[in-house]
Chain A
Amino acid sequence: MITGQGIVKTFKQRGNILGSREVRALRGVDFAIPKGGAASFIGESGCGKTTLGRIIAGLESYDEGELVIGDTAMSELKHKQRQPHFRKIQLIHQDPYSALNPTRTIHQTLHAPLSLRAKQTGRSKKWIEERAAEVLSLVGLDAGTVLARYPHQLSGGMRQRVVIARALTVDPEMLVADEAVSMIDVSLRLGILALLKDLRERLGVSVLFITHDVATARYIGGDGELYVIYRGQVVERGPVDTVIADPVHPYTQSLLSAIPVLHGLEQPGEQPVVPLEPLDQLLDDTGCLFTGRCPFRGERCAGERPLLQVTEGVPQEHACFYPERRSVIARPLSEV
């Protein structure tokens, strides 16, 4: 179980001599990812989802809030003491081309973390080699053909598999996959997604999936929770299928409406929501963060910020004063 409470992160942007500008990347985010479970963070780029993923993987610090890994609260530990906890959470980068060292063979890449483990646990050299072959076979690669190769000799899909294999060398409890398939050829994407899903089922690794594509989030973490993040705030949170089928926050509805409709196979939703303004970084910070773009804004929205809450008749949590279900997603023609 990995939980976060009120995580706040502010980046200082270098400004002019009059002072620097602060960018609020995360404004008090709560989340909980059960052991072996799944969660998905979705939102536009710049919404803070990547920062949150990096904080969870221990690659970024946070300013306020508490991160609890297992039963251990991170704020009570010193930097050095946190490392073993964060090692249980491995980040899968978006770009499989920069995630592998081009000057090292796959064997060298896997060998380093494995020999560290072997040293710590007093295992033999033979174990290292066996384990390397094992993690590769877990990700669907043949050790005999892959080990001696350099990253450039592998396709994007295979590289991403190696990256996942490398993460598995430390027996992680959770994989954080940040847009893990966006740079991979379309015909290979589902293979990687299926692999992550398979690892969840076989190894009991929980998966945190960070993406702007709701459908892939559903594919991997269909049984988990979906967190819709907008400008550093979770605006809707609930079981994936509930949020997809009956979104109540206008931002979630805009995201879902924007998904291309496969004409010929699907029929567009009846009430698509289009935000009024494109996303701009210099939006107002008072009131509801979505007010400026929201087609359904009401009186309360400009002055007051809605917090994530449960209201009557809505199964999921949401941060909207006027939640209303709208049918926005495309339905298969076969169902209509």
Chain B
Amino acid sequence: MPEQAPGVRIDGLTVVYKTAAGELPAVRDISLTLEPGTITGIVGESGSGKSTLALSLLNAVQPPGRIAAGSVEIDGLGDVVGLRGEELRKARGRHVGYVFQAAQNSLNPLKTVGKQLLDLGRSHGVEDLRGLVREAKELLGRMGLDGARVLDSHQHELSGGMRQRVGIMLALVLNAHLVVLDEPTTALDMITQANILKIVREVHAERGLTTLVITHDIGVVAEVADRLAVMYGGRLVEQGPTREVLGAPSHPYTRGLIKAIPRLVGDIDEAQALPGRPPTLTSVPDQGCVFRDRCPLRMDVCDTVDPAAVPLGSRIVACHAVNVKEHA
């Protein structure tokens, strides 16, 4: 069991879904490195492939989807794409903790949280169940909840923010050091969201984790993440240190997204809507740049050639126009 934060190297990952129109890529040729001990945020709209990418980290893509190419190397675990059956089940929870969307109720409504905790412990062969409960109470207490009370509660007795904290506890209680949070604050209120994000940051630092946050909300990533990766139509279009990307976005999509956020101060009309709409699995063009239909920098080459992800200082950007400008 790794006691330090593991690094993750995703290389050339492609995940396809079987549809009536053949196998379509939901995630196409993505390479991304999660440095040990960092928080990485993946931002994308619905259909961008961000959740599929997160599931790939656990090799948990469900049919009709499958990982068609690439590898996901996790320190201390190897390439998870090759893992099968029992090995894989053990890895989930032990090595990789997964926190499901707040909006979806990922807790069993018929069992108390404590019962579900014990189930989790037994299925992972934990011998010291008392120790597990103690650990869970400690974690919950750390997140500002009354551990004993929460463990005795059913899902419906907990508020959205409390459920989310329970989710984080369940992801961490088996001592996983790689944590994936899928839309951790969707459907939560502003104040609750701020609380959860604070907890994510603190727990991350205290326990020495490698954290991946998946969200549609740039604000969430801006609050917690060291690095930011932007997904669009199954491609990773830009990645780099959060502050740099937010301060000076390179890819036209990132730029458009940031520009479309209404702000609290300044000229109201500075916020500009992005034209067009995001592609779905079936409407992603099979050649050329996925963003070209909505792009202000569109060139002829964008119609035919899918831009490669090119390092640009501390960043990696997949855009013809940006690359041309840099090399001119």
A residues with CB within 8 A of B: 44-45, 155-158, 185-191, 193-194, 212-216, 218-219, 222, 244-245, 254-265, 274-275, 278-280, 329-333, 335
Contact = CB atoms under 8 A, between A and B. Distances in A.
B263 interface: yes
A237 B288 CA distance: 51
Contacts of A216: 262
B258 interface: yes
Interface in B177-235: 189-195, 197, 216-220, 222-223
B190 A279 contact: no
A201 to B, nearest CB: 12
Interface string B294-319: 10000000000000000000000000
B244 A264 contact: yes
28 contacts: A44-B190, A44-B191, A45-B189, A157-B277, A185-B45, A187-B278, A190-B272, A190-B274, A191-B274, A193-B262, A216-B262, A244-B265, A245-B265, A258-B190, A258-B191, A259-B190, A259-B264, A260-B194, A260-B219, A262-B219, A262-B222, A262-B258, A263-B223, A264-B242, A265-B258, A279-B159, A333-B247, A335-B265
B85 to A, nearest CB: 37
A49 B49 CA distance: 34
B189 to A, nearest CB: 4
A190 B245 contact: no
A187 B231 CA distance: 12
A279 B191 contact: yes
B273 interface: yes
Contact of A189 (B190, B222, B260, B263): B260
Contacts of B191: 44, 254-255, 258, 275, 278-279
Contacts of A331: 265
Interface centre among B162, B243, B264, B268 (most CB of A within 10 A): B264
Interface of B: 45-46, 144, 159, 161-162, 189-195, 197, 216-220, 222-223, 242-247, 253, 256-258, 260-266, 268, 271-274, 277-278, 294
Contacts of A189: 260
Given A186-B260, A218-B268, A260-B197, 19 more contacts: A185-B45, A185-B46, A188-B277, A190-B272, A191-B274, A194-B273, A215-B263, A216-B262, A219-B268, A255-B190, A259-B219, A260-B222, A262-B218, A262-B261, A263-B222, A263-B242, A278-B192, A279-B159, A330-B264
Nearest to B248: A264
B273 A191 contact: yes
B290 to A, nearest CB: 13
Contacts of A158: 277
Contacts of B222: 260-264
Given A190-B272, A255-B190, A275-B191, A261 B223 contact: yes
A260 B195 CA distance: 11
B243 A263 contact: yes
Given A260-B220, A262-B246, A187 B256 contact: yes
Contacts of A44: 189-192
B264 A214 contact: yes
Contacts of B258: 262, 265
A227 to B, nearest CB: 16
B207 to A, nearest CB: 22
A256 B194 CA distance: 10
